[in-house]
Amino acid sequence: RAYLDRIEAVDSKIQALMTVTGGVALNQAKKADAILARGEGHPLTGIPIILKDVLCTKGIRTTCSSKMLQNFIPPYDAAVVERLHACGAVIIGKSNMDEFAMGSSTENSAYFTTRNPWDTSRVPGGSSGGSAAAVAAGLATAALGSDTGGSIRQPAAFCSVVGLKPTYGLVSRYGLIAFASSLDQIGPFTKDVADTALMLNAIAGYDPRDSTSVPQPETDYHGCLGGSVKGMRIGVPKEYLAQGVTPEVKAAVDAALKVYEDLGCSIEECSLPTTDAALAVYYIIAPSEASANLARYDGVKYGFSYKETDSMWQAMEKTRAMGFGPEVKRRIMLGTYALSAGYYDAWYVKAQKVRTVIRREFDAAFERYDALITPTAPTVPFKIGEKAADPFSMYLSDICTIPVNIAGLPGISIQGGFHNNLPIGLQIIGKPFAEKTILKLGHAFQ
């Protein structure tokens, strides 16, 4: 009730939420109360949680912040939603996002732009900006987002909360509306690392319904927190502190590295030379996969359907012309171009080869280091409208996060301080399935 009241009081200023579940949430909360009264339950029982509107929720509208899915009510819950329900968590709302998770500011939502709670003239980051802003503004204890190229970590940095992108395959994507299937992962937003670990305990785990799900031994991510980080080896890839990183962000990273040094970690500069190709690789692979995934929106199977014509082709064309926003159309065009005959080898296959090079450079770095530390984003949150007209400058805001998805690694963004009251995020990157290591390091910093 208190969280619903808080939403009522402040969300008109933040505009983080697409849907508030009100009565449904209160019913779930009553059940949670009963479980807790019996002395049973899980650490998440009764905890209010907000879901990015890209996650299917049975009986609750799921829009992807697109006109295409304006009235789409899924007949099933995503795997992560089932898992949260099994813990007794209470889903209190669905959050605004860039349409189909394409963007870095929520300005690509077909409905409205979410505001950064620290400065409402600025963006909360994206594409999971609604989830990050909701946690920062105290609209829920935790939220889930999805991260294809930075969409959890960058908004976490912009809103001064913690955001984790797990290793590709650790969390089931069943019921996550796909953007780029080889890059997408679901992960939590919380105010601190301990809560992120509790959320990961709840959502991680093998699921045969996601063919890329990887069986892992049952792990208590919360239990591993605390204790010394002395002797841990931290690499600092120099390419991440180069182009476009502002002096205040660099100063925050330097200050954090000093803290780790004082905690007994060894800090060493290293190089991941192919980093500067990551953005180009991403903007071939992600749009290619997106163009295939979005082919299902034909006006027949799901969502919006243009019906004022007898022609099947015209119905399909109008449905897509009216249902998708400009950024989604741009991605579809890029993707279909890169996949078309004659260009496939030159663009798509080449991008896949460079992807392998990037992955191998990380593998080599992780032979020497337990974790890598970088900025999460090159700048503090920017003004609403500042980059909206220039897609390329918007794409650059994910320059530090995209390589992590390309290599399928886990990455966490933690609070790295403020500059002129604007948040700065610190990114810790780990080996595949080394969530424990990056959580432990993040927790030690906090």
The yes or no reply on residue 151 touching ligand GLN (CB under 6 A) is yes
Residues marked as catalytic:
52, 127, 151
- Considering only residues 335 to 364 of the shown chain, the ones binding ligand GLN according to CB under 6 A are none
Contact pattern for ligand GLN over residues 131 through 150, marking x by CB under 6 A? ----------------xxxx
C-beta of 102: minimal distance to ligand GLN in Å?
5
Cβ burial of 269 (10 Å; 0-12, 13-18, 19+) is exposed
- Using Cβ positions, the residue closest to ligand GLN within the complex turns out to be 151
How far apart, in whole angstroms, are the C-alpha atoms of residue 391 and residue 355? 22
- Give the single-character DSSP code of 29: H
Q: Annotate 317-344 with three-state secondary structure.
A: HHHHHHHCCHHHHHHHHHHHHHHCCCCH
Site stretch for ligand GLN (CB under 6 A), options 39-47, 97-105, 111-119, 414-422: 97-105
106 binds ligand GLN (CB under 6 A): no
Give the nearer residue to ligand GLN in terms of CB position, either 16 or 87.
Answer: 16
How far apart (Å, rounded) are the C-alpha atoms in residues 151 and 146? 6
Residue selected from 25, 56, 80, 101 as contacting ligand GLN according to rule CB under 6 A: 101
- Cβ proximity to ligand GLN: between 104 and 201 the closer is 104
Site for ligand GLN contains 398 (CB under 6 A): yes
CB 311 to ligand GLN: min, Å? 33
Asked if 435 touches ligand GLN (CB under 6 A), the answer is: no
Question: Near ligand GLN by CB under 6 A, which window of 64-72, 98-106, 134-142, 435-443?
Answer: 98-106
Angle (nearest 5°) at CA 433 between 256 and 435: 35
The burial of 218, by beta-carbon neighbours within 10 Å (0-12 exposed, 13-18 middle, 19 or more buried), is given as exposed
Find the shortest distance in angstroms from Cβ 327 to ligand GLN: 8
Interatomic CA distance for residues 59 and 78, integer angstroms = 12
Where do we find the tokens 């049975």? Answer: 58
Which listed residue (50, 78, 102, 406) binds ligand GLN by CB under 6 A? Answer: 102
Written as one letter, the residue type at 397 is S
Question: Which residues sit opposite 144 in a β-bridge?
Answer: 51, 188
Minimum separation from the CB atom of position 104 to ligand GLN (A)? 4
Sites for ligand GLN among residues 166-185 (CB under 6 A) = 179
Longest dimension (CA), the chain: 71
Whole-angstrom Cα distance, residue 81 to residue 90?
10
Tokens of 368: 């020497």
In single-letter form, the type of residue at position 256 comes to: A
311 prior amide bond cis, ω within 30: no
Which residue, 29 or 157, is less far from ligand GLN as judged by CB?
157
CB of residue 131 to ligand GLN, shortest distance in Å: 12
Residue span binding ligand GLN (CB under 6 A) among the ranges 4-12, 35-43, 101-109, 227-235: 101-109
CB 89 within 8 A of CB 47: yes
Told to check if 286 binds ligand GLN by CB under 6 A, we report yes
- Nearest distance in Å: CB 127, ligand GLN: 4
Per CB under 6 A, 54 contacts ligand GLN = no
Identity of the amino acid at 308: E
Point out which residues bind ligand GLN (CB under 6 A).
Answer: 101-104, 127, 147-151, 179, 286, 398
